[in-house]
Amino acid sequence: MSLPGEFASDNAAPVHPVVMDAIAAANTGASPAYGADPWTHRAEQWFADTFGAESSTTLVWNGTGANVVALRALLKPWEAVLCTAQAHINVDECGAPERIAGCKLVDLPTPGGKLTPAQVEAALVGIGDQHRVQPRVVSLTQATEYGTVYTRDELRDISDIAHRHGLLVHMDGARIANAAAALGTSLRECTVDVGIDVLSFGATKNGAMGAEAVVVFDPALAASLPFLRKQTAQLASKMRYLAAQFIGLAHDDTWLVNARQANAMAHRLAEAIREIDGVTITQSVDANAVFALLPRAATEALQRDFHFYVWDEVTGEVRLMCNWATEPADVDQFVAAIRAELSR
C-alpha cells in the first residue's frame, strides 16, 4: 500500500487487508453476543499465549476507554496517577480519567516524554497524610507521545521503585507494537517481564479498524474488569468483530510486520531530513514518529500538500508520523518537498 502525503497520524492509515479479511471471515451466521463467541475465545487465547497464562484480557472499543478501564481497576477514589505532562491520559482524553475514573493525575514535565525513577520517587510525597491524594499508579506511555521508547532497563527501574513503594504500573500501549519492534523483544518481554501490572494494548494504530484491549497481569485484578468495562460503556455486543481484528493482527505476526514498517519509514525520513539545512530533529527517533523544528514558512507551505501536525505552536515543532501503510516512495516524496522548500 502507499499513503502519499500522509504524515499526520497513524490513525489515518486504512485497515490492514489481513484484518479486513479476518473481520469478513467472522461475518458468518449467528454467534453469541458480548464475547461468548469463538472469535473472542481465540483472541483471548492469543493474548494468553503472548503474555502468559496468568494474564487476563478484556477487549474494548478504543484507547481512551482502555486507559480509563485500566485506571479504574487500580484506583480508590483518593488515589492518584503519576504520569508525564504530555501523557495522552493528561492532555488528549478530554479529562476522561479525571471524570470517569475520578482520579487526580499528577503530571510531571519530561523533555522526551519519558518519566525517570528519580521523578517518581520525588513525587511520592504526603503518603499517609489525609489531606493529600495518595499516589497509587505510575502510568507510562510506550512508545511515548514523543516517539521515544523506554528501554527494558528503564521500565524495570521505574516499576521496581513503584512496587517498592506500594504503587502499581500502568502502561498506555497505544503503540506497544512499535515499541516491541524497536526494542527487538517479544510483547511479553517489554511489559509483564519488566514489572508492568496493567497494559492498555493498542491495535488501532497498528492496522486494526478499531479495537484495543486491557491486559492485566495480576489474576486478583481480573475479576473486576468485565464490570468496569460495561460501566465505562466499552462492552461491545458484537464482540466477534473486535476479536477478529486481533486474530488478523496475530496471523503471521502481522502486528510485528506492520510495526517494523512504520518504524523503518520514520527512520528513513529522519535520516534524510537530518541532512537538510534548516531542519533540526528534536527527539530521539525510536519508533514511528519524527519530531522536528522547521521554519514556520516552510511548514505552512508544506502543509498545502502534506498532512502533518504542528505539535508545539510556540516553538514550531512538528510531528511527522509514519504508519504501517507508509511506503519508501511516500517518504522520499516528502523529503524532496522539504528539501525544495528549504532551499528557496
Write the binding mask 61 to 80 for ligand PLP: x where contact by CB under 6 A, - elsewhere.
-xxx----------------
From 6, 37, 145, 157, residue interacting with ligand PLP (rule: CB under 6 A): 145
Peptide bond into 143 cis (omega under 30): yes
For ligand PLP, which stretch binds (CB under 6 A), given 56-64, 241-249, 258-266, 299-307? 56-64
Question: With respect to ligand PLP, which residue has the nearer C-beta, 236 or 338?
Answer: 236
Question: Which of 203, 194, 146 lies closest to 171 in space, CA to CA?
Answer: 194
Residues 260-299 that bind ligand PLP (CB under 6 A): none
Question: With respect to ligand PLP, which residue has the nearer C-beta, 137 or 272?
Answer: 137
At closest approach, how far in Å is the CB of 241 from ligand PLP?
16
Q: What is the DSSP letter of 283?
A: S
- How does 288-319 read in b/e, with b if 16+ C-beta sit within 10 Å? bbbbbbbeeebbebbeeebebebbeeeeebbb
At closest approach, how far in Å is the CB of 265 from ligand PLP?
18
CA dihedral sign, ordered 169, 171, 176, 178: negative
- Give the total of residues touching ligand PLP (CB under 6 A): 9
Which residues sit opposite 83 in a β-bridge? 107
Question: With respect to ligand PLP, which residue has the nearer C-beta, 63 or 135?
Answer: 63
Q: Is 91 helix (H, G, I), strand (E, B) or coil?
A: helix
Amino acid identity, position 11: N
Question: With respect to ligand PLP, which residue has the nearer C-beta, 88 or 268?
Answer: 88
Say which residue the cell 449467528 belongs to.
30
For residue 319, CA distances in Å to 10, 11, 269 come to 11, 14, 12
In whole angstroms, what is the distance from residue 125 CA to residue 141 CA? Answer: 23
Question: With respect to ligand PLP, which residue has the nearer C-beta, 79 or 172?
Answer: 172
Question: With respect to ligand PLP, which residue has the nearer C-beta, 89 or 279?
Answer: 89
In whole angstroms, what is the distance from residue 322 CA to residue 153 CA? Answer: 26
Question: Which of 182, 122, 123 lies closest to 152 in space, CA to CA?
Answer: 182
Write the binding mask 199 to 218 for ligand PLP: x where contact by CB under 6 A, - elsewhere.
-----x--------------
At closest approach, how far in Å is the CB of 25 from ligand PLP?
24
Question: With respect to ligand PLP, which residue has the nearer C-beta, 37 or 93?
Answer: 93
Residues 154-183 that bind ligand PLP (CB under 6 A): 172, 174
From 72, 88, 114, 136, residue interacting with ligand PLP (rule: CB under 6 A): 88
Question: With respect to ligand PLP, which residue has the nearer C-beta, 201 or 217?
Answer: 201
In whole angstroms, what is the distance from residue 162 CA to residue 159 CA? Answer: 5
Write the binding mask 12 to 51 for ligand PLP: x where contact by CB under 6 A, - elsewhere.
----------------------------------------
At closest approach, how far in Å is the CB of 62 from ligand PLP?
4
Minimal CB distance residue for ligand PLP: 63
In whole angstroms, what is the distance from residue 205 CA to residue 96 CA? Answer: 20
From 110, 141, 245, 288, residue interacting with ligand PLP (rule: CB under 6 A): 141
Determine which helix (DSSP H) or strand (DSSP E) holds 213, and give its type and residue range.
strand 212-216
**Which pairing describes strands 198-202 and 168-173: parallel, antiparallel, or unpaired?**
parallel
Question: With respect to ligand PLP, which residue has the nearer C-beta, 82 or 174?
Answer: 174
Amino acid identity, position 17: P
Q: Give the footprint of ligand PLP on this chain (CB under 6 A).
A: 62-64, 88, 141, 145, 172, 174, 204
